[in-house]
Amino acid sequence: MRGFFVFLGPPGAGKGTQSKVVAARLGLRQISSGEIFRENLKNQTELGILANEYIKVGELVPD
């Protein structure tokens, strides 16, 4: 059974950097919700358009 790790912290704290290091060392996948949103915003997908409605008014994107 494989586990997972969640990295929490403020912007610029190094969550992405550290999660990539841990993922590489343990042979795990690294997933970043921020990267997923940015890719969808860039490609103007349905998810990106919906997420942008929350982002542009300063709200968190819901689950």
* 26 contacts 15 by C-beta, under 8 angstroms: no
Instruction: Outline where DSSP puts E strands in the chain.
Output: none
Q: What pTM does this model have?
A: 0.67
Q: Residue 25: what pLDDT?
A: 94
Give the mean model confidence (pLDDT) for residues 30-56.
Answer: 93
pLDDT attached to residue 33: 86
pLDDT given at position 1: 54
Q: Which residue has the higher pLDDT, 3 or 35?
A: 35
The answer to whether residues 33 and 39 touch, using CB atoms and an 8 Å cutoff, is no
The percentage of the chain sitting over the pLDDT mark of 70, rounded to a whole number, equals 97
Question: Helix, strand, or coil here: 48?
Answer: helix
